[in-house]
Amino acid sequence: MTGSALAVVRATGDSVDVDLLAREAGLHPDLVVRLIRLGVLDGPAGSNGSIRVAGAAARLARIARLRRDLGVNVAGAVLASQLLARIDELERRLERYETTPRGVEVITWIRTD
């Protein structure tokens, strides 16, 4: 798997063909479709159409590394990837909390439309 190839795929647009993403990541397209069905990658479940690339390449690369380097099965790689993403999110929140001056309230808005 080449990180540069994934970066190129990520930068080319909003969506990419599943076969192309799988080829660039060095994975079988059926595995990518399986990950879509599991909800790991954003895309139309059960289809071999195009998926939204935003974040997909990074998640796919992390899962592929866990499988290749540690010999973890797909379910274990997905779980570990989700836990690592959650840790990253919590570390960002903690860093923001630690850098916020005392007595200042931070309000975060999430757009839902």
Q: Is the pTM of this model over 0.85?
A: no
**CA separation for the pair 14, 18 (Å, rounded):** 13
Q: How confident is the model at residue 1 (pLDDT cuts 50, 70, 90)?
A: very low
For residue 16, the model assigns a pLDDT of 66
Q: Where does 1-113 show beta strands of DSSP type E?
A: 15-17, 50-52
pLDDT tens across 55-112, in order? Answer: 677 788 888 889 889 999 988 998 998 899 899 999 999 888 877 677 677 777 777 7
Q: What is the pLDDT of residues 22-51, one digit of tens each?
A: 877 777 888 888 887 777 775 554 444 555
Q: Which of 67, 57, 63, 68 is nearest to 82 (CA)?
A: 63
Contacts of 13 (CB under 8 A, 6+ apart): 53
At residue 21, the pLDDT reads: 77
Residues 6 or more apart from 95 whose CB is under 8 A from it? none
